[in-house]
Amino acid sequence: MSQDNHIESRRRFLKVAAGTTAAAVVIGGLPRFARAADLPHVAESDPTAKALGYVEDASKGGAKRKAGDDCANCQFYSGGPSGYGPCQLFPGKSVNAKGWCVSHAAKK
């Protein structure tokens, strides 16, 4: 009978430990995700922006740009349809929804 009590005690401990860990993560252990408003905007003079041909105004995208292509409808952009939002190609920075770069890939 003592073996059964020992196993039950261990199970109870593991449940409490798992619950406490989960609560700690939810309450304050998760990293704060940056909001697009907190991110600095990508400047066209940025080295990565230059390499990707990024422009703030898609209409200035040049010959490679197709009509209607802009950051707002690119699979790498995760912001809203207007203003600025995060782009996977510019980690830690935000791009103009009306911008464009040569890596544009239409959302599917």
1 and 22 in one domain?
yes
Task: Work out how many domains the chain is built from and give that number.
Answer: 2
Q: Are 71 and 87 in contact (CB under 8 A)?
A: yes
User: 41 forms bridges with which residues in the sheet?
Assistant: 94
Rounded to whole angstroms, the Cα distance separating 11 from 33 reads: 35
97 and 44 in one domain?
yes
pLDDT at residue 28 in the model: 67
Q: Which domain holds residue 24?
A: 1-31
39 and 27 in one domain?
no
**Phi-psi sector, 68: left (phi>0), alpha (psi -120 to 50), beta:** left
Q: Are 58 and 70 in contact (CB under 8 A)?
A: yes
84 and 40 in one domain?
yes
38 and 19 in one domain?
no
Please give the chain's pLDDT, 108 residues, in tens: 567 777 788 888 888 788 788 777 777 655 555 565 688 999 999 999 999 999 999 998 888 899 999 999 999 999 888 899 999 999 999 999 999 999 999 998
pLDDT at residue 46 in the model: 94
